[in-house]
Chain A
Amino acid sequence: MNLKAETLSRIDEVITHYPVKRSATLPLLHLIQEDVGYIPEEAITWIADKLGLQPINVYEVVTFYPMFRRKPIGRRHIKVCRTLSCALLGGYKTCATFEKEFNTHCGEVSPDGEVTVEFVECLASCGTAPVVLIDDDLYEKVDEARAKQISDQIKAEAKTRKQAAS
């Protein structure tokens, strides 16, 4: 595993929070996913070694929790809430707008690699439906127009970044 020094020190620190090392499984998966972008195969054996577990103990956790992913995603992660309160106010149209804007389907990386659009279950902000979580930031009352606006913004940022790189 090629992890950043900061990740490694946070891993060592978080293990001390628990009297039983195994409890650090979820925190370690979060830290590695934040560092690498997803949970690669080698992370599972690495965590098992680190915590004195069998790889299956880690693997079964990775496959249980929806937030852990086994594959890389787009540069930005757009999670649209699918559950009832958001759907009642147009969540499905919000999701379709993002799919259309980035020419992609739910759960897939967009062809330009910029985003992964995903439908997720309740984000606990039902009073400001429909809501969208983009990376760590919550966007509220995202109707079709607002979804288009956010998409344009992400595209503009991508363009600026590409120009700066070339």
Chain B
Amino acid sequence: MPAPEQRRIIFQHIDEPGYSNDLACYVRHGGYEVLKKAVTRPPAELIDEVKKSGLRGRGGAGFPCGVKWGLVDRKSGKPIYLIVNADESEPGTFKDRYIIHQDPHQLIEGTMISCFANNVQQAYIYIRGEFPHGARILEKALAEARAAGFVGKNICGTNYSCDIFVHRGAGAYICGEETGLIESLEGKRANPRIKPPYFPAVLGLYQCPTIVNNVETLCHVKYIAEHGGEAFAKIGTPNNTGTRIFCVSGHVQRPGYYEFPAGTITMGQLLYEVCGGPLPGRKFKAVIPGGSSAKILRFGERFKGKRKVGADLVDYDWGVEDVPMDFDSLAMIGTMGGSGGVIVMDDSVNMVEALANINAFYSHESCGQCTPCREGSLWMKKITTRMVHGQARAEDAALLKGVADQIPGRTICAFGEACSWPTQSFLAKFGDEFKQYPETKKTKAADSRALV
């Protein structure tokens, strides 16, 4: 079956010749018209549109945006804050980079509409430290928008005022976790907070109700405010509405970013047709579908079960290629859609070495406050690194599993899951390679590509 056509809503102007990131260009393309209309509507109506749209957060968890907004404590009398999570750090994910660098006003407009809907008077864009140009571009765009009355005092001539400031991170992955991000914005180490009681919707920034939304999510809000929640819900499939941006990297002919109506494209269509298939002479071996913490899939494995189609339960029998790339289908086969970062590995990759690379990342990025995660991620790194660079033992697979199984569910934040899922899933899917690795190593070419 041929792959569906791309439908670029968020990435409409990305890489468009002549499209620049300044206000004049954005306004020429109809920019801020949606905000002008939005501020004349009752805020509750905008929240309703987002609820109707079924929009799910694009940062990784896929939590419904309307529900998140609905949880905000509006009776406390405290100010409500909105934070844009632009800390894009999940390995394999690179969508927000292009929005921030090439179309910053789209993000600002979506943010302002969301602020107005939620009666927010102060918002922050928390941008990762490794985007220095991105931070400058956003600051310039905000200054332009402020001067034109789209940000700051009396927005579009109304009584509503709300400012947005850019806040730069400094290289810590954990700042993508919303409560870690809040701690960081308060000027502290980004140690995530325990929930309950620290649900951001009630006790967030400065102990005030706070909304944290991903860059892409807020851009979708702009589309929803323009076209309505029902129109948005018609794109994609039920429960997976709107478009989804996939970031494909690794061993494919055409890596890059592709936007499709959610749930309409399968993994096979995406990798073979859209991305041009494997590199010459190679075969696909494994794919991580939703950022490096998502559980890995092995080409050749099959997934069977029953799924809901409309009101009916139907049997499915899928290979990796057949899986629709939506939150629910990916969850059904034991992995996740996450942040949309698809990392592809071909048959040149040894899975012990790939896991060693991932484990080095998570051990570097653990914030260190929970013992199972701090020690566990470090041990998983030490074991896999030793397997590659030192002595590999047949019993290492069992040892790794023993460590990984003791982390999830025992930590304050989801990093515990994120750091153990790669080890657990690599062992479950490629356990044979781990057992054979002591032998594999003996015949390894000296100049082979290093992964760790």
Contacts and interface: CB of A to CB of B under 8 A. Distances in A.
Interface of A: 17, 19-20, 22-27, 29-30, 51, 57, 60-61, 64-68, 79, 82-85, 87-90, 92-93, 120-129, 133, 136-138
Given A67-B171, A121-B365, A126 B186 contact: no
Nearest to B174: A64
Nearest to A29: B170
Interface string B172-198: 110000000000111111100000000
A83 B167 contact: no
A93 B450 contact: yes
Contacts of B133: 136-138
Nearest to A62: B170
Contacts of B189: 60-61, 64
Contacts, number: 153
Nearest to A23: B187
Nearest to A63: B189
B417 interface: no
B361 A126 contact: no
A84 B171 contact: no
Contacts of B349: 88
B345 interface: yes
A127 B247 contact: yes
B354 interface: yes
A151 B354 CA distance: 28
Contacts of A64: 172, 189-190, 367
Nearest to B279: A89
For chain B, the bracket of interface size reads 35 or more
A64 B165 CA distance: 23
Contacts of B168: 26-27, 30
Contacts of B96: 124
Nearest to B133: A136
B93 A126 contact: yes
A84 B358 contact: yes
Nearest to A88: B250
Interface stretch (B124-132, B263-271, B402-410): B124-132
Interface string B151-170: 00000000000000101111
Given A127-B248, A127-B256, A83 B91 contact: yes
B364 interface: yes
Interface in B289-306: 292
Interface in B235-252: 247-251
A61 B187 contact: yes
A85 B91 contact: yes
B171 A65 contact: yes
A84 B170 contact: no
The 6 closest A-B pairs by CB, nearest first: A25-B187, A65-B170, A126-B249, A66-B171, A67-B171, A85-B249
8 contacts: A22-B188, A23-B186, A24-B187, A64-B172, A66-B364, A85-B250, A88-B449, A124-B88
B117 to A, nearest CB: 22
A112 B450 CA distance: 28
A16 to B, nearest CB: 9
A52 B88 CA distance: 31
A129 B251 CA distance: 10
Given A67-B170, A83-B361, A121-B365, 16 more contacts: A61-B187, A61-B188, A64-B189, A65-B172, A84-B361, A85-B91, A88-B349, A88-B451, A90-B449, A92-B451, A93-B449, A120-B171, A124-B88, A124-B94, A124-B97, A126-B249
A79 B130 CA distance: 10
B170 A122 contact: no
B255 interface: yes
A128 B255 CA distance: 7
A83 B171 contact: no
Given A60-B189, A64-B189, A124-B93, A84 B343 contact: yes
A129 B249 contact: yes
B206 interface: yes
B242 to A, nearest CB: 22
B169 A65 contact: yes
A57 B189 CA distance: 9
B257 interface: yes
Interface in B40-65: none
